[in-house]
Amino acid sequence: MEYRVIRSSRKTLGMQVGPDGITVRAPYFVTSAQIDRFVRDHAAWAEKRMEQLRRQSLSVFGAKVMTADQLKRLTYIAKQVIPPRVEHFARLAGAYQRLGRITIRCQKTRWGSCTARGDINMNCLLALAPKEVLDYVAAHEVCHLFEMNHSAAFYRLLGRIYPDYGKWNRWLKDNGAALQAMVPGRR
């Protein structure tokens, strides 16, 4: 989990999660190892807060065409929310060592993709979808770290790490065009 540290003469550690990411406020005397441990200990809270931000982005953006500034803000939020989910499924599948870079883009036709080098690209619009849809796409792309196809072996692995994948794949097929229509120039 990425975060920035602001040191000051305060006496305790504190964490904030906002549109600009995770900020840890720390006393001067606290070591980097202590800060890392603090962030790990509060990771569940930070993920919950990031989910709240994602939901807020839905109410901010609504179902209209976004401005360039809104798209930029959405991409920033997506960069905070999506990579931890991809990493979660990579660990679950035993593929964390195979995982390369995670890139967030506003892709025109794909929700995600995986390269032969293990780099995973995810669409920033997933930050507007239900968390289960984001998880489905993250799990799907992680499975490509083992199977670069849609074979029976691929779907067995996907079913093992994300059993409800069919339900959320259907949601994306039914609602994905509405999300895509929110991007300027895609109506």
Q: pLDDT tens digits for 100-131?
A: 999 999 987 799 999 999 999 999 999 989 99
Asked if the model's pLDDT at residue 183 lies above 90, the reply is no
Tell me if 132 sits within 8 A of 162, measured CB to CB: no
Taking the model in full, what pTM does it have? 0.68
**Residue 30: both structure tokens together:** 């606290």
- How do residues 4-49 score in pLDDT, each as one tens digit? 899 999 999 999 886 557 889 999 999 999 999 999 999 888 888 7
Nearest of 49, 43, 55 to residue 87 by alpha carbon: 43
Tell me if 137 sits within 8 A of 126, measured CB to CB: yes
Judged on CB neighbours under 10 Å (0-12, 13-18, 19+), 151 is exposed
Q: How confident is the model at residue 51 (pLDDT cuts 50, 70, 90)?
A: confident
The CATH number corresponding to 65-180 among 3.40.50.300, 3.30.2010.10, 3.40.50.2020, 3.90.550.10 equals: 3.30.2010.10
Domains of the chain, by residue range, sit at 65-180
| Residue 61 pLDDT | 47
Rounded to the nearest integer, the mean pLDDT of the chain is 88
Asked if the model's pLDDT at residue 57 lies above 60, the reply is no
